[in-house]
């Protein structure tokens, strides 16, 4: 009997979700800016992953015949070379790859913290919720960029620390959103029926609440990735993030900014990639948010 109830509720949920998904997809596809961004981002991601293989250069070797060369087809220096003769095309793509990688990993870290925190606060509600959200409020008021820099100064500059630090500052938004959604989810019938059939709190959160949050979470992932990329490039720009010979878009822009008066291309290409990347993610995030939450549409 219990099993039957659960099944029918579950089936209805699936049907409704499928309907919403179809509607949403149509609405998103009608958003030309978001659609274009998806294509542009896919091109950049593929280029960042596979592009370096098709270049005759490797981003580390110094081409003594082409030091600080302007963009040229010769030797495949499509974006020119930097002041010590490294191919800028490959380096820009490697930087893009690094920025994307950090963006995605740090976003996952913040999801891990934010979803669990928000789901627990929202599910238990009451005093637990009040205390947990008060902590989030307090943390919101802190100057996080400064703390990340502080961490970098004290513990040296390594990649894992960058992930953790950036992930740890970006979970607040997700926790808030997830909590709000959980508050409305926990009084729905399927949660009640799970509780009646004897599921533990942890099982309900993991099996019934969190899967239903995924739609919201996906929207916020597309809005968090550009924020994370921005923070990382900010740190790298100041020389506190990615270190030579590795490159991220931030460190490349920083190099470029020092030499732009004589070799502007060293600035322009990484700056262009960074801006397009952030622009694309933001447009997609906006488009998804319009679909998911029409009330927030501007």
Partner 1 sequence: MLVYILKRLLGIIPTLLIIITISYFLIRMAPGGPFDLDQTLPPEIQASLEAKYHFDKPLPVQFGYYIADLMRGDFGPSFQYNNYSVTELIMQGFPISLQLGLSAILLALIIGCGAGMVAAYRQNSRYDYILMSIAMLGISIPNFVMAPILILLLAVLLPVFPAGGWDDGSLMNQVLPVVALALPQIAYIARITRGSMLDVLRTGYIRTAFSKGLPTHIILLRHALKPALLPVVSYLGPAIAGIITGSVVIEQIFGIPGLGRYFVQGALNRDYTLVMGVVVFYGVLIVLLNLLVDLVYGLLDPQIRLGAQSSD
240 binds partner 1 (CB under 8 A): yes
234 binds partner 1 (CB under 8 A): yes
Question: How near is the Cβ of 171 to partner 1 at its closest, in Å?
Answer: 16
295 binds partner 1 (CB under 8 A): no
Instruction: Report yes or no: 217 and 111 within 8 Å, Cβ to Cβ.
Output: yes
What is the pattern of x (binds partner 1, CB under 8 A) and - over residues 175-214? Answer: ----------------------------------------
**Angstrom distance (rounded) from CA 286 to CA 238:** 29
244 binds partner 1 (CB under 8 A): no
Instruction: Report yes or no: 66 and 77 within 8 Å, Cβ to Cβ.
Output: yes
Residue with tokens 């659609």: 35
Question: How near is the Cβ of 297 to partner 1 at its closest, in Å?
Answer: 8
Q: Which is nearer to partner 1, 17 or 275 (CB)?
A: 275
**Angstrom distance (rounded) from CA 248 to CA 48:** 12
**Angstrom distance (rounded) from CA 227 to CA 298:** 20
How many residues belong to the site for partner 1 (CB under 8 A)? 42
98 binds partner 1 (CB under 8 A): no
**Angstrom distance (rounded) from CA 56 to CA 90:** 9
Touching partner 1, residues 109-138 (CB under 8 A):
137-138
Nearest of 36, 6, 40, 11 to residue 277 by alpha carbon: 40
Residues 6+ apart with CB under 8 A from 16: none
Q: What residue ranges bind partner 1 (CB under 8 A)?
A: 137-138, 141-143, 145-147, 149-156, 226, 230, 233-234, 237-240, 250, 253-254, 256-257, 260-261, 264, 267, 271, 274-275, 278-279, 282-283, 286, 298
């Amino acid at each position: 009997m219990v099993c039957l109830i659960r099944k029918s509720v579950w089936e209805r949920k699936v049907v409704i979700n499928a309907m919403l998904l179809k509607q949403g997809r149509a609405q998103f596809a009608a958003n030309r800016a978001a659609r274009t961004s998806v294509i542009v981002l896919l091109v950049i991601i593929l280029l960042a992953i596979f592009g370096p293989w098709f270049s005759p250069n490797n981003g580390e070797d110094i081409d003594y015949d082409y030091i600080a060369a302007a963009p040229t087809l010769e030797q495949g220096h499509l974006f020119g070379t930097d002041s010590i003769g490294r191919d800028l095309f490959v380096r820009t793509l490697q930087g893009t790859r690094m920025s994307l990688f950090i963006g995605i990993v740090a976003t996952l870290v913040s999801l891990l913290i934010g979803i669990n925190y928000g789901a627990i606060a929202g599910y238990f509600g009451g005093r637990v919720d009040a205390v947990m959200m008060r902590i989030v409020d307090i943390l919101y008021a802190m100057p996080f960029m400064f703390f990340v820099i502080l961490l970098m100064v004290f513990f040296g500059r390594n990649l894992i620390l960058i992930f953790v630090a950036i992930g740890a500052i970006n979970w607040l938004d997700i926790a808030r959103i997830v909590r709000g959604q959980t508050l409305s989810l926990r009084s729905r019938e399927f949660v009640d029926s799970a509780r009646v059939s004897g599921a533990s709190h942890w099982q309900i959160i993991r099996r019934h609440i969190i899967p239903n949050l995924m739609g919201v979470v996906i929207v916020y992932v597309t809005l968090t990735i550009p924020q994370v990329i921005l923070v990382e490039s900010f740190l790298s720009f100041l020389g506190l993030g990615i270190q030579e010979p590795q490159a991220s878009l931030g460190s490349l822009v920083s190099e470029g900014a020092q030499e732009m008066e004589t070799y502007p291309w060293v600035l322009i290409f990484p700056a262009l990639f960074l801006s397009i990347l952030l622009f694309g993610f933001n447009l997609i995030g906006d488009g998804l948010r319009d679909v998911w939450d029409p009330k927030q549409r501007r």
